[in-house]
Amino acid sequence: MRDCHLAARSAEPGRQPLPPPGIAAAFRTFAQDLATSRRRWTPETAQFIAEQLDRLPAEWDANRATGRDEPVRDALARGGPLRQGTCLELGSGTALFTPVLEAAIPQVISIDLSMGTLQQAQGRSPQRVRADAGALPLPDVLFPAETARVLAPDGVLLWINQLGSDGPLHLPTSTVAAALPGAWQATESEAGWGSWAVLHRTRGGMAKFEEPHDDDGPGESVSPG
């Protein structure tokens, strides 16, 4: 495995809108347990998370969203080539970054557990769906098998850690790749406060990790927010 670190990060270090350390650590453990199948995602868990998120939309836009778009912008600029197609923005929240995706990808569908955040997203995202990423209402995420099921054969998974390793739901690229069924190749980097990875299926063998190329363009992605 090779990690790529950018020479500079434009966001000011230490100013991330993080929750208290204890809460952030608890959520990181929760995400790791889901990704590694130590914990099951149940309807009760989904309902609890949705209720917590429903309380946040106005506060999120006002206090917690600033500076989070740099990993998305950098991934679209340097993580390609990506297939042009439909993007499922999983965990879209209040759709603050949907316009960034729409500038690069023809069709973006914003998907979130929280009705409150989707209502706040009105005017930013024309296509919004309230759904559990563990059971997407789509024909033939943190939910590896479901992500692989809905991903086009030549599609990619764009994984964004908006606040880096200190973020409450941070998962390393290696953990994401290991959780997905089959073999995957990843291009990854840091940007701003966070990091990104573009993963696509390989024909076999072990997962591979590469550095981004500056001359590659944007395309289709599946983004877990």
Render pLDDT for 155-195 as a digit per residue (tens, 0 to 9).
Answer: 889 999 887 787 777 888 998 888 888 889 899 999 888 89
Decide if 5 is inside a domain: no
Which residues make Cβ contacts (< 8 Å) with residue 139, sequence separation at least 6? none
Among 55, 125, 71, smallest CA distance to 96 is for 125
Number of domains in the chain: 1
Task: Please give the model's pTM, rounded to 2 decimal places.
Answer: 0.72
Q: Is the CA virtual torsion 174, 177, 178, 184 positive or negative? A: negative
In a domain, 10, yes or no: no
Cis amide linkage into residue 57, ω under 30° from 0: no
- Are 220 and 12 a contacting pair, CB within 8 Å? no
pLDDT tens-digit series, residues 141-162: 456 667 777 788 888 899 998 8
Domain assignment present for residue 149? The answer is yes
Phi, psi values for residue 223, rounded to 5°: -120, 115
**Residue 112, SS3 per DSSP:** strand
CA-based nearest residue to 219, from 173, 145, 162, 157: 157
For residue 13, tell me if it sits in a domain.
no
Pairing of strands 208-210, 194-201: unpaired
Q: Strands 107-112 and 157-161, how do they pair?
A: unpaired
pLDDT digits (tens, 9 = 90+) for 33-75: 877 788 888 888 888 878 777 776 566 666 555 557 889 999 9
How far apart CA 224 and CA 125 sit, in angstroms, is 16
State the average pLDDT over residues 199-221: 55
Check which CATH number belongs to the domain holding 142 and give it.
3.40.50.150
